[in-house]
A = this chain, B = another copy of it.
Amino acid sequence: MTLHTSQTIMRKSLHHELVDRLQPLIINSELKPGTKIPEKQLCERFGVSRTPLREALKVLASDGLVRLEPNRGAWVTQVTQEEVDEVFPVLGALEALSGELACKHITDAEIEEVRALHAQMIRSYENRDLDAYFSVNQKIHRAILLAARNATLTTSCQALSLRMQRARYLANMSEGRWYDAVQEHEKILQCLVARDGPNLAATLLHHMDAKRASVVKWLQSQETTDAI
């Protein structure tokens, strides 16, 4: 019955693979917030049975991307203002810590890497290429995270970051906010180069709060229009 076409998954554990495949679908809103997760369709699409798919959904639920309603199936969670106001402060505290630790452990080579990413981000900003900007932006935050040399911190940060990502992605920044964000990143780079942990921590904290405010603003503007 099950065909092993190129589309079909067959490496490592199926449920783990499915988690990795479902996450992007939720992040880029192919599976829309507030909608029901079409179990049957997804099984066909990935060429798997319900068992591993449901296992994956349980994991995604514990990460907050999916909500399980007993006897009613799985639903893509909404990004609400309440959630944004909750998650960003936590993310801020974690990123601040990552900055602190990164300054202690980062190598010169890694700093050069961040510098290169930063330059690339500036170019994306100048070209008003939001997709590229977001992509590089994330790489920078990730590079700092990795420099912190703390796998637990990385995991925690990324889990929360993921939850905010689709909102952040959807939320078109205002011209003014975008400018400010770039300025903040300028300072982030400077702190990192100077290996000034406390300063970097404070900057990242502020950066996160500004992001929060920006996302909230966008959410509120959407309230009248449509739920994300």
Contact = CB atoms under 8 A, between A and B. Distances in A.
A93 interface: yes
Contact of A153 (B68, B89, B151): B89
A94 B87 CA distance: 12
Interface stretch (A58-66, A105-113, A131-139): A58-66
Contacts of A86: 150-153
Interface string A150-173: 111100100010000000000000
**Within the oligomer, what is the number of copies of this chain?**
2
Interface string A10-53: 00110110000000000000000000000000000000000100
A101 interface: yes
A13 B90 contact: no
Contacts of A12: 70
Contact of A13 (B64, B70, B101): B70
Nearest to A88: B152
User: Which A-B residue pairs are the 9 nearest by beta carbons?
Assistant: A86-B152, A93-B97, A93-B93, A59-B62, A55-B58, A86-B150, A87-B152, A90-B153, A55-B55
Interface of A: 12-13, 15-16, 51, 54-55, 58-59, 62-64, 68, 70, 83, 86-87, 89-90, 93-94, 96-97, 101, 150-153, 156, 160
19 contacts: A54-B55, A58-B59, A59-B59, A62-B63, A64-B152, A83-B152, A86-B150, A86-B153, A89-B97, A89-B101, A89-B150, A89-B153, A90-B94, A90-B150, A90-B156, A93-B93, A93-B94, A93-B96, A156-B160
